[in-house]
Amino acid sequence: MGYRGKLAERRQARRLRRAGLPLGEIAARLGVSKSSVSLWVRDVEFDGPVPRAVRGRRRDPNALQRRKQGEIERLLEEGRVRIGRLSEREFLVAGAALYAGEGAKRDGAVKFANSDPRMIAFYCAWLRRFFEIDETRLRLRLYLHEGLDLGASIAFWSELTGIPPSQFQKPYRATPDPSIRHTKHVHGCVSVDYSCSSTHRTIMGLVRGLLGDAVVPG
């Protein structure tokens, strides 16, 4: 489906990153933006240049680590092949399941929040695919820790979602609390909002069909 766009470029970007190429060079080779490359390869482990501060201390992976990484790569690829290319109905059902878990249930509020760019991209593609959306009414709210680059995050999410920065609501800047969290999402967490009672009720009908009336395979 459409949300998978530029699949060949994504695969090539992952191969190049695994080989140790920097994001900027990958973007230049493929003719895509650096932020897109960053999204595509965010979970790829690679053998890049060793920072000066740690030179001499890096160790080659041992046999157990190599087996672990091999199993991770194998199972990730098996999962991708097993899912394959979604049919129209499968895409509809997958989006309904995603909304059932992460979407707002209050009547009229079509709202989906997440920090994973892949989920946000999937959701936006699903929403546009199956519903008549007035693009000018889409809103995005960014939740970002203080100290992180607000401008870069706005540009990242705008490119990913296709929602212009002029339709972003005032961002929420969270104060880091080291006693609670050590890892911060570099681009923050976003909420994609669309106020439309008819659309929300249609989505909730899909959720009801999925969770209430659908027969679970035995």
Give yes or no for a contact between 120 and 160, defined as CB atoms under 8 angstroms apart: yes
* Parts of the chain belonging to CATH 3.30.1330: 88-213
Tell if the pTM clears 0.85, that is, is over it. Answer: no
Tens-digit pLDDT profile for the chain (218 aa)?
Answer: 444 456 778 888 888 888 788 888 888 888 788 878 888 888 787 655 544 444 445 566 778 888 888 888 889 889 989 999 999 999 999 999 999 999 999 998 999 999 999 999 999 999 999 999 999 999 999 999 888 889 999 999 999 999 999 999 999 988 866 655 545 678 899 999 999 999 999 999 999 999 986 666 66
Paired tokens of 27 = 């973007």
CA distances, 129 to each of 2, 25, 172 (Å): 8, 33, 29
Three-class SS of 151-180: HHHHHHHHHHHCCCHHHECCCEEECCCCCC
Class of domain 88-213 as given by CATH: alpha beta
